[in-house]
Amino acid sequence: MSDDKKSGTPKDTHYAKLRRAHRDQKAGGPVERPRVAIPAGDGPADGLVRLYGLHTVRAALDNPRRKIKTMLVTRNALERLGISDIAALPFKAELVEPKDIDKLTGSEAVHQGVMIDALPLKPKPLSALGETRLVVVLDQVTDPHNVGAVLRSAVAFGAGALITTSRHSPTESGVLAKAASGALEHIDLIEVKNLAAALDELHEAGFRSIGLDSEGPAELEASFAGERIALVLGAEGKGLRQKTRETVTALARLDMPGAIRSLNVSNAAAVALYAARRFLAVR
């Protein structure tokens, strides 16, 4: 069986719809015409990032650090964003039809009638960490959907920063921002060149770093200690790199009594953040 058929990809769905349409036509019933996907058009101008979706754009509008250059928005989305006067916006904004945004983002992007081109947020150095007691560290997690979902959970549970490496990490994008559902605008993004050195710096600042590993020697809750916690997660498949495993304060596992012994990295992050927040709340 091909990968397309096993995974249920859009290609497989397209041909399945064609087969159904052919059967309907032979039976004399209504013909279901498959929707033709619209590919993404030209990207944003150099140095800009394209963001879309109501939550993403609303959070960007409310973030004074976000410099928006242009907006395309439908009348319905404008109302849902709570904007009464499009002419009063401090950047170029244009009322359009949904299909006009489809031509730029592609019809697979769930833009909800609004898209902006803006300057990307500038990552901060580790020295800008501040007094937060909880941070998330990602060890070469490259999937923007996963990173966006981790961002959303990090903001939901009050983490003060997301720390990533400058290489082998996704850049800011519409896909990442949409998965984050506005969280991108509410948390410090910190980039480091050397993750092991950054972990050592976190230790000096009083953090206990806990690397999540499905084969970790202790349960996560039993690994918590101290006043500051850094949760360290690796990419799906390969997990934490060896140097990272050697540098963290402790390796720990999530207690999962079911038949499946591991979670998607974003789901694991959400569970770990919940547990860490509960621990820190009573300190």
Reference 276, options 232, 213, 217; nearest CA is: 232
- Residue span of the structural domain in which 97 resides: 49-118
What CATH number corresponds to the domain at position 191? 3.40.1280.10
Which of 68, 84, 118 terminates a domain? The answer is 118
Helix%, strand%, coil% for the chain, nearest 5: 40, 20, 40
Amino acid identity for residue 61 in this structure: L
Same domain (yes/no): 77, 208: no
User: Which residues of the chain register pLDDT less than 70?
Assistant: 1-36
pLDDT recorded at residue 38: 77
pLDDT of residue 4: 43
Do residue 109 and residue 165 come from a single domain?
no
Residue 18 lies in a domain: no
Q: Does residue 140 share a domain with residue 276?
A: yes
Q: What is the pLDDT of residue 267?
A: 96
Looking at the structure, do residues 165 and 61 belong to the same domain, yes or no?
no
Query: Residues 177, 86: one domain?
Result: no
Shared domain for 105 and 240, answered yes or no, is no
For the CA atoms of 130, 135, 140, 143, the dihedral, rounded to the nearest 10 degrees, stands at -110
**How many domains does the chain contain in total?**
2
Task: Please tell me whether residues 276 and 142 are part of one structural domain.
Answer: yes
Burial class of residue 271 (count of CB atoms within 10 Å of its CB; 0-12, 13-18, 19+): middle
Residues 161 and 57 reside in one and the same domain? no
Q: What would the pLDDT profile of 27-76 be if each residue is shown by its tens digit?
A: 555 555 555 677 777 788 889 999 999 999 999 999 999 999 999 999 99
* Sequence-distant (≥ 6) Cβ neighbours of residue 245 within 8 angstroms: 211, 213, 251
Of 63, 83, 65, 64, residue with least CA distance to 73: 83
For the whole model, what pTM was predicted? 0.83
